[in-house]
Amino acid sequence: MQALLNGESTLVIAMIVAYIAFTSWLTFKLRSRTSDQFMTAARAMPAVVVGVLMMSEFVGAKSTVGTAQEAFQSGMAAGWAVLGASIGFLLFGLLMVKKLYNSGEYTISAAIAQKYGKSTMLTVSVIMIYALLLVNVGNYVSGAAAIATALHVSLPVAMCIIAVVSTFYYVFGGLKGVAWVTILHSAFKVVGVIIIFAVAMSLTGGIAPMQAKLPAYYFSWDGKIGFTTIFAWTFGTVGAIFSTQFIVQAISSTPSADAARKATYYAAAFCLPLGFLLALIGVAAKYLYPDMNSLYALPVFLEKMPPLASAFVTTSLVASIFVSVCTVALAIASLVVRDFYVPYWKPTPERELKMTRVFSIVIAIVPLVFVFFIPEILKLSFFTRALRLSVTMVAMMGFYLPLFASNRGATAGLIGAAVSTTVWYLLGNPFGIDNMYIAAATPLVVMAIERLVMGHAPAASQAAESNAFVERTST
């Protein structure tokens, strides 16, 4: 891609450095001083702040760049990648949020353990860590595309910048610091997307010229993607919202179950317009630069702006990257500490906070090992959502169909779903069947077979087992 002029590059770099310096200072000032603040912000977050947090989790760097990339290839229908999150948050608020909040836990695995038991809890935790590490791999790749374009650095260098800066944010800030700084990050991100959209529409002359030149499917509801894939995306996004660790952690930071439900409605409203804007940006890039690498469908517009606007938008993309990486890494750290470190080592609160920060640094480094093996960003995104969907299926059965609340069946179903979904994804979704459907069906089938063949353990004994193991920490 064409390089920015030296003067413009200097302005971009200066604004990004100033932004990172200010938000780093703000994070340190608002840092978590106790394990309770690190994990749940001491259950004192306003609903609107939590709504912004949850929106940023599902409309982060990966979805922002990835939706534009998919729209470049397949049309406006790529917007369903974000619109599905709006539907998911609405359903989550109606069906699940109060049950999870009233469990008193801040990890999805510990909440599920109350219905199943120890082995299911550990299996859920491992699957969630696996899925979220892959989420951050995608965040590093998509974020590096924007940073490399603006700062004239290689993709590996850009990824290292993301790892270092975002690690500082969440290692010191914890949920308390990340939550408040995310308000600023998200404001920059939304304004940045609006500016990119305005520039794209100015360059194309509006929507009409694009409709006249591009194939008709670019403006159809299902595009080149098709109903089956769109339904799988939406289904998987809804399922992922129901079980994603950071979402559970975010709602646990509100003062009440009613506030947690309000937060999900705020998140649904915040996601809705962004899907349309990002899809139109990708389609505009196809119209203007049809032979370009689709990964740059959104960052390409940085070079078409006045210097100050380019600097601001680049900073907004950087903000989006940091939000995405911070929230995911914080969720992974919570799972590692709550489900593995605390039950077995039983540390003091001070030791727990110290080790949480150590684990957080390691968690930031791991995705860098895998970033060069990633195909299209959006496909990776929905594969990680498929993995989380399998957890949702087990959770919903535990909460609404206690007849199937077997620790053995749930554990077998989750392991089977993780293996089968991964294999299906690596094979390229054979027979046109999306891996999302494999993730949804496998635990149901395995649990049903286990119930029919092996019988059902008494609910009381399982509750006793889970209550004996699941010790609440820092709440």
User: Which pLDDT band, with edges at 50, 70 and 90, does 378 fall under?
Assistant: low
Distance from C-alpha of 113 to C-alpha of 269, rounded to nearest angstrom: 32
Does 47 score more than 90 pLDDT?
yes
User: Which pLDDT band, with edges at 50, 70 and 90, does 376 fall under?
Assistant: low
Does 9 score more than 60 pLDDT?
yes
Q: Which of 50-64, 335-349, 461-475 has the least mean pLDDT?
A: 461-475
Which whole number is the average pLDDT over 140-153? 75
Cα 417 to the center of its chain, rounded Å? 20
Return the pLDDT at 379.
66
Residue type, 325: V
Does 470 score more than 50 pLDDT?
no
Q: DSSP 3-state assignment of 475? A: coil
User: Which pLDDT band, with edges at 50, 70 and 90, does 152 fall under?
Assistant: confident
Residue range 380-436, pLDDT digits in tens? 767 888 888 889 888 888 878 777 668 888 999 999 999 999 999 889 889 888 888
Return the pLDDT at 204.
95
Percent of the chain surpassing pLDDT 70: 90
Which whole number is the average pLDDT over 146-170? 82
Does 469 score more than 50 pLDDT?
no
Burial 191-227 (b: 16+ CB within 10 A, else e): ebbebbbebbeeebeeeeebeeebeebbbeebbebee
What would the two tokens of residue 285 be?
A: 């890039």
Return the pLDDT at 180.
87
Cβ 393 vs Cβ 244: under 8 Å: no
Cβ 270 vs Cβ 262: under 8 Å: no
Q: Which of 55-64, 92-101, 203-212 has the least mean pLDDT?
A: 55-64
- Helix/strand/coil (H/E/C) assignment for every residue in 325-337: HHHHHHHHHHHHH
Does 208 score more than 90 pLDDT?
yes
Return the pLDDT at 266.
95
Q: What is the mean pLDDT of the chain?
A: 85
Residue 472, C-beta contacts closer than 8 angstroms, at least 6 positions apart: 104, 105, 110
Taking alpha carbons only, the member of 43, 40, 97, 47 closest to residue 262 is 47
pTM of the entire predicted model: 0.79
User: Which pLDDT band, with edges at 50, 70 and 90, does 5 fall under?
Assistant: very low
Which whole number is the average pLDDT over 268-273? 91
Which whole number is the average pLDDT over 86-100? 92
Return the pLDDT at 76.
94
User: Which pLDDT band, with edges at 50, 70 and 90, does 468 fall under?
Assistant: very low
Q: How many residues does the chain have?
A: 475
Percent of the chain surpassing pLDDT 90: 31
Does 138 score more than 90 pLDDT?
no
Return the pLDDT at 211.
93
Return the pLDDT at 375.
53
Which whole number is the average pLDDT over 146-162? 80
Which whole number is the average pLDDT over 298-307? 85
Return the pLDDT at 81.
85
Return the pLDDT at 6.
58
Which whole number is the average pLDDT over 115-122? 87
The string of DSSP codes covering 57-115 is HHSSHHHHHHHHHHHHHH-GGGGHHHHHHHHHHHHHHHHTHHHHHHTT-SSHHHHHHTT
User: Which pLDDT band, with edges at 50, 70 and 90, does 455 fall under?
Assistant: low
Residue type, 463: A
